[in-house]
Structure 1
Amino acid sequence: MEIFVDAINHCGLREVDYVGPRFTWIYQRKDGEQIRERLDRAFATQEWMDLFPTTKLHHLSSLASDHSPLSLHLEYQQKKMKVRRMFKFEYMRLKDRRCEEIVKTEWEEEEIIATDRVLERCLERCRAELSAWNKSEFGHVGRKISELQSRFEGLERQPSSTEQIRELKNTRVELNCWLDKEDVMWRQRSRLNWFQRGDRNTSFFHAKASARQKKNLIVGLMDANDVWQEDDARMEEIVVEYYNNLFSSSNPEDFSELLAAVQLKVSLAMNEELTRVFTGMEVRLALK
């Protein structure tokens, strides 16, 4: 098994997420007991997963075999939900000196005009200005890098001249700056805090961020009757029903089983000492 795992890691394979029953193999013993295992799985490379990001492996039911049939669904029509994007500060912005200038300017101006809730108003003003600046300057890092790479390749094909050499140098510096920003961006989105610095490995961090985003995507939920539901309205009902049941009381009256599990901290001797009648001497000592 260890060699098999090493082979999977060496090939860079990832397991495809599944939908349906957990186990794919059932063995019925003569004594009536069952052995259940998940023996059947599907693996794919990261490049393949990028081509089919919503792939699901469906575990189907079988009436003839002790193995469950597997059905690989490559395409899934993901529902687009209109969700307001939350403001998240990108660490890569700190690599641009204008970021500090924007924060300082907006903070100082709001401090002058604000009369109440100064901190809240300063933060809101910085958020709005940084969002606008991010949209205009960092709207699409990948597109900016592609444009600089194309410009750099075009300059390399031109005849050598003083102007061409200077432009080539400036483009190389700008391209490296944007590559560093892209690397920082994907490191932050991948949330791998254990790897802070080192060689640029953008594809690795992009894969980790994509995997986390895919993990956070809820395609469907199993209802109380073990039926797979993918409709948004039904999923909402399942979530509401689950937490209603979780945080609702069944109004129990018999607590003996619960109390029996609580370990005693006060012994019988200690309890007798605490509940006995006070003596006159003890009262006089307490009042002195």
Structure 2
Amino acid sequence: MCGKIVEEAWELSRDKPLTEKISFTAVMLGKWGKEVSSCFRNKIQCCKKIMQRTKGRNAKKLMELYNEQEVFWRQRCKQLWLREGDCNCKFFHAATKVRRKINKIDNLKDDNGIEVGRGTGMEETMISYFSNLFAVTDTEFTSVINTVDSRVSSIQN
């Protein structure tokens, strides 16, 4: 499902610059995540009401929902060390929020050492940095080549 969201967001923003595509995809994934997490809450509440009316006959369905919710949050917060059966949803939510806060880049320093943030040149700084990093430069190889012993003679060549 997540892959479809990414493909759809990428397709909808095909005429936009890369940074806008990524931002739009992130927004779409965020909306999807909120829908999925709220769906669990609603489904569990509904299932509990049915269980009360049917005197516990829907317990298997409720357990399946709890397991699905646990897997969702475990994947979301990337806590690989958690064992099956640990149903501490508050912990999953807190770990996800902490990870988001740690991974968030609020500002960067540009080439001149000036701090820039979102809306104040951070995007341009990132583009400039990676453009310079991966740009083709004129390099003088003669000094390097002259230090390497020739294995092929001019006759063999």
Please tell me the TM-score bracket, short chain as reference: 0.5 to 0.7
Paired residue type of 1:206:
H
Note the C-alpha offset of 1:237: 0.7
Structure 2: 5+ residue runs without aligned partners?
Answer: 1-21
- 1:187 touches 1:205 (CA, 8 Å); kept in 2? yes
Cα 1:196–1:146 change in 2 (3 A) is closer
Partner Cα separation in structure 1 for residue 41 and residue 66 of structure 2: 11
Structure 1: 5+ residue runs without aligned partners?
Answer: 1-80, 91-134, 156-163, 279-288
Q: Could you tell me which of 58, 83, 91 is aligned with 2:24?
A: 83
Partner of 2:131: 244
Partner Cα separation in structure 2 for residue 182 and residue 259 of structure 1: 64
Partner Cα separation in structure 1 for residue 142 and residue 120 of structure 2: 38
Q: Secondary structure at the match of 2:121?
A: helix
Note the C-alpha offset of 1:205: 3.2
Q: Could you tell me which of 32, 42, 48 is aligned with 1:144?
A: 42
Partner of 2:118: 231
Partner Cα separation in structure 2 for residue 143 and residue 243 of structure 1: 42
- 1:141 touches 1:178 (CA, 8 Å); kept in 2? no
Between structures 1 and 2, the one with greater strand share: 1
Partner Cα separation in structure 2 for residue 83 and residue 249 of structure 1: 30
Partner Cα separation in structure 1 for residue 126 and residue 59 of structure 2: 52
Partner Cα separation in structure 1 for residue 145 and residue 107 of structure 2: 36
Between structures 1 and 2, the one with greater helix share: 2
- 1:222 touches 1:229 (CA, 8 Å); kept in 2? yes
Are 2:61 and 1:209 equivalent residues in the alignment? no
**Structure index of larger Rg:** 1
Task: Please identify runs of 4+ aligned residues in structure 1 that moved more than 6 A.
Answer: none
Paired residue type of 1:212:
R
Partner of 2:77: 190
- 1:220 touches 1:228 (CA, 8 Å); kept in 2? yes
